[in-house]
Amino acid sequence: MMNFFTEYASPLGRIILESDGANLTGVWLPRQRDGEPEGECAELPVFAAARRWLDVYFSGRDPGATPPLAMKGSPFQLAVWELLKRIPYGGTTTYGALAEEIARQRGLARMSAQAVGGAVGSNPIAILVPCHRVLGANGRLTGYAGGIDKKVRLLGFEGFRTTGDAPDSKIL
């Protein structure tokens, strides 16, 4: 399978967009990935759609539905990433709440929030699959592959005001 990539100049710095030719397969913030992308640099309709989506997002508005996505991961990762897609623009949740939902879906008594955190941290499509909307216990800003400073800024684009380590908002 051929891999394509392009760049997007964002307020957070250079973002790499990756595609299989029809779907987005990766969106990488600075510091989120080592090295340069592999494949062919190209301009594709899915990249144009992703740029439009990101332009709206970075203007502080809800960009709505994402361009087509193709995420590859374990069944557990895919289940967690599906939950991330359900967190509404301007909303947040916690690792613990995600763990409770995964446990409920799988008929388990409990699920490790740390295991969920590992899946969240391996999300290959930053921003569009909003792992930045996941907070630690008591709404604390924790763990973000692109750096906590990027997480704060991403939440800020969605209208959060941060005071100390926690955004001024309720946790969904």
β-partners of residue 15 are 8
3-state secondary structure of 70: coil
**Of 58, 2, 55, residue with least CA distance to 25:** 2
Residue with tokens 């921003």: 127
Q: Give catalytic status of residue 131 as yes or no.
A: yes
Catalytic residue among 84, 102, 129, 131: 131
Question: Could you write out the DSSP letters of every residue in 73-113?
Answer: --HHHHHHHHHHHHSPTT--EEHHHHHHHHHHHHT-S---H
**Of 127, 118, 121, 139, residue with least CA distance to 85:** 127
Whole-angstrom Cα distance, residue 17 to residue 7?
6
In angstroms, what is the C-alpha Rg of the chain? 16
Which residues are catalytically annotated?
A: 131
